[in-house]
Structure formats: C-alpha cells, structure tokens
Structure 1
Amino acid sequence: MTHHRRRAARRRDRTRRITPRTHWLLLSVFAVTLSTALLLQGYTHHMFGITSDAVTGVRGRSDMVPARVAHGGPVIAGAATSPHTARVRPRTIALTFDDGPDPTWTPRILEVLRRNHVHATFFVVGTQVVAHPELVRRIVADGHQIGIHTFTHPDLARLAPWQRSLELRETQLAVAGAAGVTTALLRPPYSSENGALDDADWSVLKQADAAGYVTVLSTQDAEDWQRPGARRILANATPHGHGGQVLLMHDAGGDRSQTVAALAALVPRLKAQGFRFATVSDAVGMAAPVQPAGLGDHLQGLALVRALQGGDRVVRLLGWLMYAAGAISVLRAAVVLTAARRHRRLRAGGPDRSWGPRVTEPVSVIVPAYNESAGIEAAVRSLLASDHPV
C-alpha cells in the first residue's frame, strides 16, 4: 500500500513539473509581436520621413564624378563600370512625379494625364506604396512607368552602404508586392541635375548601378515643393527652346493642388507648341525598365506589405486603447469621488443612522488571503470589532 502511495505521489510530482505555463507563453508571444510592430512602424514613419527638397545639405567635392556624367544626360547607367548617359529626344517631355503615391493628389494627377492622353513616370516612396498599394496598381494599369525613390526618403549619400541596399531592396519588394512588377529606375531623394552631383552622390550611383539600377535625374524643376502658386509652377515647368526635358514635379509630400492646376494647363500648352510627352524609357530610347516580378519577389513583397500594414494597425489600436483607458480612468475617478461624498454624508448622520433594514441573520465573511496581505489585518480587526453573529 505504501509503495502504491509513493508511486502515485511521484506521478503527481511529475504532473506538477510538466504543467505548461500557458500564460507566460502567450505573454511572450504578445510581447514579441507588439515589439516587432512598434519597431516596424517606428522605422517606416519616424526614422527619416519626407522633407522639403530644399534640404539637400552642403555640396562636397566632385573630383570622382566623370566629366561625361557631370555634363551628360539625366539618365545615367553603368556608373560602377563604364559610365554613360542618355539625353531626352528633342521636343519631348518626360513628366516625372516624386514622393507618392498620395491618396488625395495622385488620383487627381492621374486624371489630368488620362484626360490629355499622356503618360508619365512615378518615382514612388516605399512607405507610401505600403500605405496605398491600390494606387501603385492603378499607376501601372493606366500605362505609366514606375521608378523607386527609396523606402523612407533619406539622403542616401549620408547612409552606410548596407542601409542604402536595404532602402532599395525594401522599396523594390514593396512595388513587387503591391503591383506585381519590378523596376530598374531609381531617383535618389534630394537629387537634381547632373552638375549638382558630388563624390558622395557618385558613390550612391555606383552602388545603385551594381544593384542593377539606372539613375534618373532631372533637367527642369517645376519647384512645386515651394508652393509658389500655379502660375509660377507653370512658368518653371515650361521649357525654353525645343530641347527635350526630364521635368521634376511631385504628387505627394503636402498640398499639391497647385501642381494639379499647373499640370492641367501645362500639358495642352506644350502639346500646342509641338512637344510630345513620354515615359523616361521612351523619351531616351532605353529598353523597358519595368518587368513582371518573379514569384519569389512577389510573395516576399506581399509579406512585407502585409507586415508593415499590420504594424500600422497595431499602433493605431494601441492609440485607441490608450484613449479608452484614459476615458475609463476619468470615469472611475468621477464615480469614486461621487461615492466618497455620499459615504461621507452617510457617516456624518451619526451612529444611529441606518444603512438599510437591520440584518439579524448570521453572515459569512471571506478574508482575502491571496496577494492581499495588506487587507488581511483590516479584515480581521473589522471582524473582531463586530458584534454581529458570524
């Protein structure tokens, strides 16, 4: 009998030892998930962010920039091996839009382009692609060209090489996940014309070329980022002479109503002057830079888009929960204050004041004894001081 009791006790001990700590597992999973969501949301929205194109820093030396690039065309290929450039054909305008897509302004710009039967090239920011993948699909479906403008819009010249690679790769995956295509076109943030390139910029272009990208600069800046008014933007965007231009405009990064108004007037005016509008590749005669994404890139891109969207939703949910917790705390404080005032009034009525019908039946009292050590003494003293049958 004793032997059986010992065996039963050992079995109970083993059972107690292997009891899974489910709550700790769930808590760990929740903590990891929440931390990942916060890190992703913080990286995509607060690490860099889109700022004015006027913030370009001080230009450094340009000893390493080849003369044929500094004085060449705006489309630059082969930077890492044999640099060469391409110019836009005469009487041709390559409309380019940076920083989008934006849910307010990109559709309006697309409508102006559709109405005038012209195509453009959109250099998209990865965080915007993740936030509005349907707009990227619409851009591609409307026959426009896609280029990448990095993931978080940093100055690439100020980043370490591994960070540059991450910016380009993440943006490419976001485009692949959103629209099912990849692109070989890159426009670095805060870039302008060839003559503004310095040695730090050139190192960026060489790394981008090694990764398979063709860099697209601009030859004419509408300066719409300054919001000088639609008339001034129209004047800035109008070319002098009949030379071909890569025109820089923006479809995101703030209020672009002036850009939309200027574009609606610019396209008919230049068409009347004999100009044609084309995508970047068509304007310089290069092979199609946008191709269908492979299955692997498309699936990775979808995973990236879903993960970042999930992070945004978690952060928004936390925000609403904080508001709810604050409201509940205020409500609780109001209830406690009201109850305390009522309790004080009842106590002030004197010892003969009745709280209700007199209770004569015995009662049962539960003394808190689990994580309530602070209340045990008060409960016991209250019991001892009472003359009610317990």
Structure 2
Amino acid sequence: MDGRRAPMGRRDVLGMGAAGALAAALSTGCARRDGPGRTAAPGPSAPGPTGSAAPATLPAAAPRRFPGLPFRIAHGPRDRPRVALTFDGRGDPDLARTALARCERAGARVTVLAVGTWLAEHPGLARRILDGGHEIGNHTERHLDLAALDERAAYEEIAACARRLRRLTGSIGTWFRPSPTAYASPLVQRLARRAGYPHVLGCDVESRDHAATRVAAVTRKVAGELRNGSLVELSLGRPVTVEALPLLLAEIGRRGLHAVTATELLDRPAAAVTRTAR
C-alpha cells in the first residue's frame, strides 16, 4: 500500500494453521504475572572502547527530528496500515537472534532499544541487528531506574550507552527509550536532549511480556490493543516473547498491516508532505 513492503501473509509465517493457533492462544486466559540519513549525529564524546567488535558494516541512522511531533512519541499515524514492533535489547542473545530471524522471515523490520551492558557482552549483536534491516537505539547503559538517580548519574546512563553505540555502529542510535519504562520525566527529557536525542520513543501497546509466563498472555494483550500506527513494546531475549512472535506476526498480516521500524512508521509519504506545503 505504501510501496515499501508487501503485507505479510500468514503463509509467510506459520502456514495455513496460523489462524487456528492464534485463536487458541487468544482464547486462553491471561497468564499469571510475576512481578534515513546515515551520518552520525552529535553526541557524547567516546572514550577508548572496552571489549570491542568492529563497527557495523551498515552504520546506524542518526537520531532524527520529526517536526510537528511531540518530544515523547507514543504512536504513529492512525490513517496508514503500519505498526512498529520495538524491542528492549537485553536477555538471552540466542533468543534475540531467533526473534530477529523470525521477524525477517515474516518480512518485518523492527526497532531494538539496546542496553549498553548487553552490547558490551555481545557486541556482534549490533551488527546483526543492522544487517537484518532493523534499527538500533539506546535503552540506557545498565537498565537502571532513571527516576531514582540523581541528574549526573541519570545522564551518564544515557551517555554511556550512546558512546557504546557510536563505537559499535558509528551513531549514537536512532532512538532513545528510558528505563525501566517508556515514560520520560521532565528531567529525563532534558537529559535525553542533551545527549543528542530529539525524541523519546514511547509506546501505546505494552506487551507486559517481562512478567508473562504463557504465550497467551502476550498475544492476547498485544492483539487486543493493536491498530494502525501502534508502537508495540516487547522484550527481545525472553522465551515467551520469541514463542509468541509467529502468532503476533501472523495476526499483523491477517489485519493487512505492515511491521516496520519506528522511523518508517513516522515517515510521511512525499505526497502528504507536498499537500502540507501547499
């Protein structure tokens, strides 16, 4: 519909049995809860690397300003059949690779907000994300509660991850998302701007997969809230999320939606820009 990517059919993901599997998952009760420039933007200066991989062959896009949109972006346009799956980048690296591969087989491009220490332990994942056609961003260095830190410590959480991303990808990352939630206090917003991020990436669909123990909890929550323009928050390295992905991708395709990166979700077609200019 937008010329970028054909809608994802169910056969691309799960075959003819996808609809039945999704229906079974959605009918199950909720689970018990336990608890496009490619140049680098100005950002924090980088000290010498510690434990490194070569920079990604495809550099990460720099943070981009979207005029007319708020500093914290919670969703994209509601008049286009697109959604963005955004993942907190931490957890089991093998599960992360599996999740990325499943998205790619379904024709989906996603946004990974990576934790700095996760990239320090698995630096090759930065290249893996970018080379898969996805985009990468900053989810703080250690995934601490920014609201509980003083200003200096909170800024360093943002800046340290930005420096690490620059070393690995040539950019401070396309997006910033606070930890541990997508909410950004006025202080965090100010610190994010200072670090070089013109927007904070929020969400309007929280999967709550971090607390889920069953696939049905994730599929039911996301499918029940998904619509045009949704920014979906998921976890990249959790077993329940990886298991739920084929069902979620099948549901996205069944609804005629396209799974794109957050940047692609917010991009305006040239025709729309021309109409606005008039």
TM bracket, shorter-chain basis: 0.5 to 0.7
CA deviation vs aligned residue, 1:346-378 (integer Å, no higher than 9, x gap): xxxxxxxxxxxxxxxxxxxxxxxxxxxxxxxxx
Does the 8 A contact of 1:192 with 1:219 survive in 2?
A: no
CA contact 1:149–1:187 (8 Å) conserved in 2: yes
* Structure-1 separation of matches of 2:215 and 2:72: 32
CA drift at 1:242: 3.5
**1:114 Cα deviation after fit:** 1.2
1:150–1:189 CA contact under 8 A, matched in 2: yes
Look up the match of 2:190: 206
Q: What percentage of residue pairs aligned between the two structures are identical?
A: 25
| Equivalent residue for 2:261, pick from 279, 295, 319 | 279
**Are 1:101 and 1:136, in contact at CA under 8 Å, matched by a contact in 2?**
no
Alpha-carbon distance in 2 for matches of 1:54, 1:89: 34
Once the two structures are TM-superposed, the CA of residue 216 in structure 1 deviates from its matched residue by 0.6
1:89 matched to 2:77? The reply is yes
Match of 1:263 in 2: 245
2-structure distance, mates of 1:54, 1:151: 25
Distance 1:192 1:169 in 2: 17
Question: Could you say which residue in structure 2 is the equivalent of 1:363?
Answer: none
| Inter-CA distance 102–178: structure 2 relative to 1 (3 Å threshold) | farther
Pick from 128, 132, 148: which aligns with 1:142? Answer: 132
Where do 5+ consecutive residues of structure 2 fail to align? 1-32, 36-63, 269-278
Any conservation in 2 of the 1:101–1:135 contact (CA below 8 Å)?
no
CA–CA distance in 1 between the matches of 2:106 and 2:231? 18
Question: Is 1:223 paired with 2:208?
Answer: yes
Contact 2:72 2:202 in 1 (8 A): no
Match of 2:171 among 178, 181, 184: 181
What SS does the aligned partner of 2:259 have? Answer: strand
The within-5 A match list for 1:357-376 is: none
Task: Tell me which of the two structures has the higher relative contact order, counting C-alpha pairs closer than 8 angstroms and 6 or more residues apart.
Answer: 2
User: Helix, strand or coil for the counterpart of 1:264?
Assistant: helix
1:13 matched residue in structure 2:
none
Residues 107-146 of structure 1 correspond to what in structure 2 (within 5 A)? 107-146=97-136
The partner residue of 2:148 within 153, 158, 173 is 158
1:202-227 per-position Cα deviation (integer Å, ceiling 9, x unaligned): 21112212332120111101111112
Q: How many residues align?
A: 202
Confirm or deny: 8 A CA contact 2:203 2:231 kept in the other structure: yes
Residue of structure 2 in register with 1:10 after alignment: none
- TM-score of the superposition, structure 2-length normalised? 0.66
- Code of the residue aligned with 2:191 in structure 1: it is Q
Distance (whole Å) between structure 2 residues aligned to residue 177 and residue 54 of structure 1:
36
User: Which protein is richer in helix relative to its size?
Assistant: 1
User: For residues 109 and 274 of structure 1, what CA distance do their matches in structure 2 show?
Assistant: 21
* TM alignment of 1:316-355, pairs within 5 A: none
1:46 aligns with: none
Distance 1:156 1:77, change over 3 A: farther
TM-aligned CA distance change 1:120 to 1:164, over 3 Å: same
After superposition, the Cα gap between the structure-2 partners of 1:152 and 1:240, relative to the gap in structure 1 and judged at 3 Å, is closer
SS across alignment from 1:100: strand
Deviations 1:195-252 (A, max 9, x none): xx6xxx1211122123321201111011111123112211111144743211011013
Deviation, 1:268, is 1.6
Letter in 2 for 1:264: P
The equivalent of 2:231 in structure 1 is: 246
Q: For 1:32-81, what per-residue CA distance to the aligned partner results, in whole angstroms no more than 9, with x for missing partners?
A: xxxxxxxxxxxxxxxxxxxxx998xxxxxxxxxxxxxxxxxxxx979xxx
Alpha-carbon distance in 1 for matches of 2:105, 2:159: 34
Give the conservation status (yes or no) of the 8 Å contact 1:77–1:83: no
State the 1:285 CA deviation.
Answer: 1.8
Q: What CA distance in whole angstroms lies between the structure 2 residues aligned with 1:133 and 1:241?
A: 32
